[in-house]
Amino acid sequence: MRISIVTVGTKMPAWVDEGVQEYHRRMPRELKVDWKTLPLAARGKNTRPAQYREQEGEQILKTIPDGDRVIALDVRGKSLSTEQLAESLRQWQMSGDNYSLLIGGPDGLSDACLQRAERRWSLSALTLPHPLVRILLSEQLYRAWTITVNHPYHRE
């Protein structure tokens, strides 16, 4: 099984890249997590946020591998507890399908990306900065996996 995390926005601080790599290193071989980072749409004085979303959305949709099931990270999505995420991860692994998790740019995900997604997942009702989203998502995927294999990392 593979999870592709498609995200918009480059130039993350070193601590973000180091944190993501640390959790990536801890993941088992049978649960491959690929990060695909896309550049922001070119910003200009006369361009509106909706145009940025659409341009970035086109990039995202081109990046999703054929046949992947898609989950959009969206503040208006459904919140999951860590245990619910672990159960979802268990189901994903049993299905044999590959998944793409979409993280939009500063202006969010395009309508086309949200329509492509079979579900929307909210990490928090708070608006989180992109660097924290990457770290939080990495850690929670690792934590969910540890729950599925009864690893002592997660304490209830």
- Both tokens of residue 38? 């896309």
Three-state DSSP state, 103: strand
Q: Give the Cα separation of 141 and 26 in Å (integer).
A: 11
- 125 carries a ligand binding annotation: yes
- 100 carries a ligand binding annotation: no
- 126 carries a ligand binding annotation: yes
- φ and ψ at residue 71, rounded to 5 degrees: -125, 125
Q: Give the Cα separation of 63 and 149 in Å (integer).
A: 31
- 73 carries a ligand binding annotation: yes
- 86 carries a ligand binding annotation: no
Q: Give the Cα separation of 23 and 6 in Å (integer).
A: 17
- 19 carries a ligand binding annotation: no
Residue set of the binding site: 73, 104, 123-128
Which segments are annotated as binding site for S-adenosyl-L-methionine?
Answer: 73, 104, 123-128
